[in-house]
Each structure stands twice: as C-alpha cells, then as structure tokens.
Amino acid sequence: MQYIRYIKKYLVFIGFLSSHLYSFAGSYEDFFKAVQFDDVRTVQSLLQRGFDPNTVNPAGMPGLMIAVREPSLKVAQLLASWPKVKTEVRNDKDESVLMLAALKGYLPLVKQLVENNADVNKTGWTPLHYAASGGHVSIVEFLLENSAYIDAESPNGSTPLMMAAMYGSPESVKVLIQAGADLNIKNQLGLTALDFAVRGNRQNAKELIETGLARLAARKAKS
C-alpha cells in the first residue's frame, strides 16, 4: 500500500511538472512573438503573471534587445521600465540596449533606460559615440547631462566628436564643441576630429571644427 501511495504521489508530481513546463513553453513562444510584433498588451499580461523579463531566445538575446532591434518601441518602453529587468545587456558586438536606442534616436527609451540604471559610460564604444554618429542632438545633450564622458575613447581611440564629424549632423558637432569636446585629440591612427570631417566630406562639420580651433589658438595667443 505504501508503495502504491508513493507511485500515486510521483505520478501527480510528474503531471504537475509536465503541466508547468507546457505552460512555460507556451508563454515563452507567446512572449517573443509579442515582442516581435510590438504587442504590448500580451507582453504586459505575461509579465504580470510572473514571466521573467530577462528570458532569452534560442540565440541568447533578451526581449529588450529584440524590441529595440525590431523596433517594437511600445514593448521596449514597457520592458525598460519593468522592475528587475536587466537594462545593461549586450549583443555579440558588445553593443548595449542604450547604445542601440541612442543610435536610432529613441529619446524616450534612452531616458527610461538611463533611469533604470543602464550604463552611460560603458568601456569601449559608448552610447555617446552612437548618439553622435546618428547626429541625434537631443540624445547627445541628454547623455551629457547625465554624466556621459564627452571625450570617451573607443577601442581605437576615437571620440564622440570624431563620430559626429564624419557620420553625424553639424548640430551634433556644434553641441559637442560647445560642451567642451577636445578638438585636438588623436586616435590610434593619428586622426583628429578635423581629419574625420575631411575624410567624410562633411564641409559644415569641417568649418565648425576649424572655427573652434581658431578660437582656441586666439585664446592661447592672448594668455
């Protein structure tokens, strides 16, 4: 009899476990499908039922990263604000969610990520590099207001100003210069921000940097 009771309990446990696993599998598929299609209601419902917001897909990518990549901005905003979500996640190129949001110009999402402890000053390429490359002035200003290091150096020593000079907008170059970016820094190839502007054939950026350099020279001459 005791053996039979044991078997019954074991079967009940196996049934419960199977039901739980089946439920998780369904939720897993529903979650990533909802992320892909920016179905914020389904994602919110799953999270409220206890689904882990940091669950990764078969490629090892969490929902927040996928939402920014798609883009699924309503879902991204929800996940970025959700308690216990890991905002400081990276892809295989060492790009953070904040970097991708900054590159694409998603200011509300950038603000939410920073509020939820995303790293403004990660080592290597930074969110400010990416915001400058995209020419997104409002994001450049926001990151600087939140202690982003203006002369952060990439792995090859390039700065946000260099990225703005070659890829960004004249407005982003102007904002960085006015905020005190160093115009004379050289990267590992010996290139300055002015060199980047010339190589990128960015005449407006070139003129802004030349004006900044002239002002620096004039101040130095007076001192």
CATH of the domain at 19: 1.25.40.20
Segment 6-20 mean pLDDT: 42
Residues 66 and 100 in one domain: no
Q: Using the 3D structure, point to which of 58, 86, 114 is the last residue of a domain.
A: 86
74 in the same domain as 30: yes
**pLDDT tens digits, 116-168:** 999 999 999 999 999 999 999 999 999 999 999 999 999 999 999 999 999 99
pLDDT tens across 110-128, in order?
A: 999 999 999 999 999 999 9
3-state secondary structure the chain: CHHHHHHHHHHHHHHHHHHHHHHHHHHHHHHHHHHHCCCHHHHHHHHHCCCCCCCECCCCCEHHHHHHHCCCHHHHHHHHHCCCCCCCCECCCCCEHHHHHHHHCCHHHHHHHHHCCCCCCCCCCCHHHHHHHHCCHHHHHHHHHCCCCCCCCCCCCCCHHHHHHHCCCHHHHHHHHHCCCCCCCCCCCCCCHHHHHHHCCCHHHHHHHHHHHHHHHHHHHHC
The verdict on 41 and 113 lying in the same domain is no
| 62 bridge partner residues | 56
**Domain span including residue 43:** 1-86
Q: pLDDT (tens digit, 9 = 90+) per residue, 180-215?
A: 999 999 999 999 999 999 999 999 999 999 999 999
pLDDT tens, residue by residue, 24-50: 457 899 999 999 999 999 999 999 999
Same domain, 16 and 114: no
Decide if 91 is inside a domain: no
Shared domain check, 103 and 75: no
Q: What is the pTM of this model?
A: 0.86
| Residue 109 domain-assigned (yes or no) | yes
Q: What is the pLDDT of residue 55?
A: 94
Identify the domain boundary among 61, 86, 111: 86
Q: Do 108 and 21 sit in the same domain of this protein?
A: no
Among 64, 86, 108, where does a domain finish? 86
Looking at the structure of the chain, the number of domains it has is 2
Query: What are residue 42's DSSP bridge partners?
Result: none
